[in-house]
Amino acid sequence: MVSQHGILLAVGLISDHFGPLVAKVCDCLLRHGALQLPEIVRRLKLPRGQVKNSLLVLIQHNCVQAFSFPRGKGADRKTMTLYLAIFDNVLHRLRFSKFLSVIRADMPESEVLVEGLLQNGRLTFNQLVERTISKVPEGTSKPEMEEIRLNFNKLVYARYVERCPKAEPYFDPEEETAPAKKRVKTLEEVLSLEQKIVNMATLSDPERFSEIPYNMEDASNANDCPRNAVSGAKRKHGAFEVDEDAESEVLWRINFEKFRFCLKKKFCADRKKPKLKVGTHPIWESFFEANLTDKDTDSVTSSINGILERLGQKEGGAAMTLDQITRVLEDLECTTSADDPEAFTFDLRKMVEECRNEEIESLVKKKYGQEAFTIFRLLVTQGCPVETDQIIDTTILDKQVVHSTLYKLWKDDYIDTEKIASAPGTGYAQFFVWRAKNTFREQFIDNLYHAALNLRQMVNFIAELLLEGSKDETKLRNRKNILILALTRHDDSLMLFHDFCK
């Protein structure tokens, strides 16, 4: 379940991009879950045509997924269509500029193609070609169809772009393995339902990342054309023969999972840089640059040959020995396996977890002081109830300070406490144990949503003042740019807690 401020942030994004009417429909789905079209119309009291058009806009931009759901039993069993809002995809609209920066660094020649899909949601290849050609400035030579196709297939092969999911997958809850007794609907079940629908709609990898076939008349010249490399790569994805007429109607979209993984790698690489020793930066950068596979989004694996190749392109990298590089990688917590001793793996999940704890501990330190930071870190590290006297002995803090600090953290829902009856002969009737609350991260994420919402509202307010023609236009533009930069940086924390843990 998305928090209140998370919903408000998502609805604000949709309102800014598509208007208040579409935002109302999105808000209804985020608050009430999967609904039929008549139910949405009834709740919003809007004309059916307006609601239907709003749903089509949200589906076009990958913010809503339709699915079929059975109703009734036996001969009376019928199928109805439900619509489910995909909160993650709505939130990704906040970071389109980051997605473009990823492509700009990796495949600059394909940036205009990615930009087209980000702006339009879903497009056929022919629509992308028309848009790409229309973006070429006058007086500049326009790209050929096959050149655009080559750049597009590179995107598909690298998994930046994918074929759109099934328009309306069939979901039957009776086919799911579940206990016979009636279960109470919980928060986890609501989330798992959304994930199940997304997974059911997703195509198999060979179909999802099958590239566009080249014209048959060009096949004889394939060996003389650089696009042959991508055609060969297509076979690795298990591509299959496709009817050309049907292929022209295929819709394509951005693969958010790929971009999320790229930003996750960049975040972890940048986060560790300030802690690196002198002279190790090139090795750390080369390790991430040599990562070519992303099947496991929780780790980065690079071969030693790939690292050496990237390192040789950097200043001073060619002079480094293999022993030096291996020792540095081991110091950076990169590991090797018995199956492939020539490859090093870095655990992204572990680092993300450490960064999340550091963010929350930093907030506790700023809000409550060094003593609270020390106590809270102890409770998080222990991961189990800790008795008051043990906290005092471990942290070496004054008893009164510990008691007052624990009370402050408990009052603000960062920690929880429990009374335990003492054993006979100890001299105490009872004692208290303390633990970090399981919900403190959810509370922290909601605060992040709230801050992002406030920043967006401030940006929109300044934009309105600029439209009205304020006298201090230069000052307002500078202030707007500062707020946009602050929102971009704040989104790094939002991704750390909401996206990178998936």
Across the range 460-480, mean pLDDT stands at: 88
Q: How confident is the model at residue 216 (pLDDT cuts 50, 70, 90)?
A: very low
Given a cut of 60, is residue 392 above it in pLDDT?
yes
Q: Which segment, 19-33, 128-142, 206-220, is predicted with the most confidence on average?
A: 19-33
Which has the minimum average pLDDT: 70-74, 193-197, 472-476?
70-74
Left, alpha or beta for 117 (phi > 0: left; psi -120 to 50: alpha)? alpha
Tell which wins on pLDDT, 383 or 459. Answer: 459
SS3 302: strand
Given a cut of 60, is residue 231 above it in pLDDT?
no
Predicted local confidence at residue 148, as pLDDT: 93
Name the token pair of 325: 């590089």
Tell which wins on pLDDT, 279 or 153. Answer: 153
Length of the chain: 502
Q: What is the residue-averaged pLDDT of the chain? A: 85
DSSP 132-152: HHHTSPTTSPPPPHHHHHHHH
User: Are the C-beta atoms of residues 414 and 437 closer than 8 Å to each other?
Assistant: yes
Given a cut of 50, is residue 236 above it in pLDDT?
no
Given a cut of 90, is residue 485 above it in pLDDT?
yes
Across the range 345-351, mean pLDDT stands at: 92
User: Are the C-beta atoms of residues 60 and 122 closer than 8 Å to each other?
Assistant: yes
Summarised one tens digit per residue, pLDDT across range 110-164 is: 999 999 999 999 999 999 999 999 988 888 888 888 999 999 999 999 999 999 9
Q: Which residues are bridge partners to 431 per DSSP?
A: 420
Cα–Cα distance, 415 to 432 (Å, whole number):
12
Which has the minimum average pLDDT: 225-239, 361-375, 391-405?
225-239
Predicted local confidence at residue 149, as pLDDT: 93
Tell which wins on pLDDT, 296 or 216. Answer: 296
Predicted local confidence at residue 426, as pLDDT: 58
The pTM score is: 0.84
Cα–Cα distance, 326 to 308 (Å, whole number):
11
Cα–Cα distance, 171 to 84 (Å, whole number):
12
Across the range 80-107, mean pLDDT stands at: 94
